[in-house]
Amino acid sequence: MGIERELGSPAAYACSSGADTQEMVGETRKLSKGGSFILLLDSRKGIHERLLPAYLNAYLRHKEKGMKSGSLQMEVLLFTAMTMQISDAIKSHGIKDRKGFIAFTNRKRLFRCFQRKFKVRASKELKLRLASDDSGRIATLPLRYVK
């Protein structure tokens, strides 16, 4: 299998929903299996610029079996938040408000299923970039947990 196929089609969307945030997060955990995931993040400016470098780093850790967390979804969150503390990452970058959040996925079809279930409105697809001001720092996070 080629790397492009393994990486999927990463996409981020500016979203809103009337559903309960905890219920949505619980469903993303159920849907995020193996190499597929949906991650719900705070919508503050600039977070989406970290997503692609964070995803690529998390993907590499997943392939090397060196993840700190048990899921690719959580590993992406750790790299996006630029911390290796799960509770800090959730607190600083996790979804805060159902009226404005970012949904990041590596499988667009998975996002569409989630979108239908929770009546999520995606106002626009966000542009993902590999090069951002934080890319270098994301790529060099201390990886003391690698076996």
What pLDDT is stored for residue 97 in this prediction? 94
72-81 and 47-63 are packed helices; what angle lies between their axes, rounded to 10 degrees? 130
Cα(62)–Cα(94) distance, rounded to whole angstroms?
A: 21
- Under 8 Å CB-to-CB from 57, ≥6 apart: which residues? 79, 138, 139, 141
Tokens of 88: 């800090």
Check: CB of residue 80 under 8 Å from CB of residue 54.
Answer: yes
> Where in the chain are the domains?
3-128
Query: Which pLDDT belongs to residue 35?
Result: 83
Please name every residue paired with 40 in a beta bridge, in sequence order, or none if there are none. 103
Q: Map residue 59 onto helix, strand or coil.
A: helix
Does domain 3-128 match CATH 3.30.2380.10? yes
CB-based contact 72:59 (threshold 8 Å): yes
In tens digits, what is the pLDDT along the chain, a chain of 147 residues? Answer: 566 677 888 999 999 999 999 999 999 999 998 789 999 999 987 888 899 999 999 988 888 887 778 889 999 999 999 998 999 999 999 999 999 999 999 999 999 999 999 999 999 999 887 765 655 555 555 444 333
pLDDT score for 17: 97
Contacts of 92 (CB under 8 A, 6+ apart): 42, 81, 83
